[in-house]
Amino acid sequence: GQQVMQIPQYQHVQEGEDFTTYCNSSTTLSNIQWYKQRPGGHPVFLIQLVKSGEVKKQKRLTFQFGEAKKNSSLHITATQTTDVGTYFCAGSSINAGGTSYGKLTFGQGTILTVHP
Amino acid sequence: DAGVIQSPRHEVTEMGQEVTLRCKPISGHDYLFWYRQTMMRGLELLIYFNNNVPIDDSGMPEDRFSAKMPNASFSTLKIQPSEPRDSAVYFCASSPIVAGPNYEQYFGPGTRLTVT
């Protein structure tokens, strides 16, 4: 079945440093989504990428979708303590049909700690 | 809108007991998802419904787990009998669509289940 791998599993940074998490899928994706989960909270949708090579920005966050639509990354510039949490990528396989249509497979997540 | 509502927020039960988790999706959302989150296995999709009909239950661990959606505003996930390895946070999520540029899933606050 489809697998989505995320690295690193943990990242500790000093406030002001940059942060990047990477996501790789075993299959070509039709779309990839990113979610953030604060400690003790629930996943909250950040963004969706659907086009090959797509780049989207949200303030200090930059999201990329690979040309082959099998990988993605999230980069945070100048981290702040409010960025603390777990960042998940989740993708739908381009070959998904029938009961798999629209199903998201989540990566294991990257836990970000920001030291003030 | 109140968002996705889940109850109870916390449940502690003894092994062998029946557990019922409840979810009210966002009004107008045709898709409802049940996820389980553990440190070891991450965020796993258990089952999802479209217009109250179960579409894919391939993630349901075993026969001890069952899910129903009797109407558009209510779903249950039942575990009978419960076992300590069922301890996890169970999230319900809903979405109006599962494709296209506006696809995102809205997660509830989760139910933290502890089976002793």
CB contact under 8 A, B98 and A101: yes
CB contact under 8 A, B106 and A45: yes
| Nearest Cα residue to B96 out of B48, B26, B44, B34 | B26
Least confident of A46-60, A69-83, A98-112: A98-112
**Residue A106: per-residue pLDDT:** 96
Looking at chain B from residue 19 to 38, which residues have their Cβ under 8 Å from any Cβ of chain A? Answer: 31
A104 vs B42, B97, B105: nearest CB: B105
Search chain A and give the residue with CA nearest B110. Answer: A42
**Residue B101: per-residue pLDDT:** 81
Nearest chain B CA: its distance from A77 CA (Å): 24
Sign of CA dihedral A73, A74, A78, A79: negative
Instruction: Report the SS3 class of residue A115.
Output: strand
B71 near A CB under 8 A = no
Nearest chain A CA: its distance from B27 CA (Å): 18
B105 near A CB under 8 A = yes
B109 near A CB under 8 A = yes
**Residue A101: per-residue pLDDT:** 72
B104 vs A48, A92, A101: nearest CB: A48
| Backbone phi and psi for residue A100, each to the nearest 5 degrees, phi listed first | -90, -5
* B107 contacts on A by Cβ (under 8 Å): 42-44
- What is the identity of the amino acid at B54? P
**Cα distances (angstroms) measured from residue B46 to each of A111, B34, B36, B53:** 23, 5, 7, 14
Instruction: Region of A76 please: left (phi>0), alpha (psi -120 to 50) or beta.
Output: beta
Search chain A and give the residue with CA nearest B33. Answer: A103
| Nearest Cα residue to A45 out of B7, B76, B3 | B3
Q: Parallel, antiparallel, or unpaired for β B65-71 and B10-13? A: unpaired
Q: What pLDDT, in 10s, does the model give residues A89-102? A: 999 887 666 656 77
Is residue B114 within 8 Å of residue B11, measured between CB atoms? yes
CB contact under 8 A, B42 and A108: yes
Interface probe, candidates B29, B104, B106, chain A, greatest A C-beta count within 10 A:
B104
Q: Parallel, antiparallel, or unpaired for β A85-93 and A105-106? A: antiparallel
Q: Which two three-digit tokens encode residue B110?
A: 């989760």
**Residue A50: per-residue pLDDT:** 94
**Residue B90: per-residue pLDDT:** 98
Could you read off the pLDDT tens digit of each residue along chain B, which spans 116 residues? 689 999 999 999 999 999 999 999 999 999 999 999 999 999 999 999 999 999 999 999 889 999 999 999 999 999 999 999 999 999 999 999 888 888 999 999 999 999 99
Q: Parallel, antiparallel, or unpaired for β A29-37 and A10-14? A: unpaired
Count of A–B CB contacts within 8 Å?
A: 54
% of chain A with per-residue pLDDT over 90: 87
Mean pLDDT, residues A81-91 taken together: 97
Is residue A1 within 8 Å of residue A53, measured between CB atoms? no
**Cα distances (angstroms) measured from residue B35 to each of A11, B65, B77, B111:** 25, 12, 10, 11
Length of chain A: 116
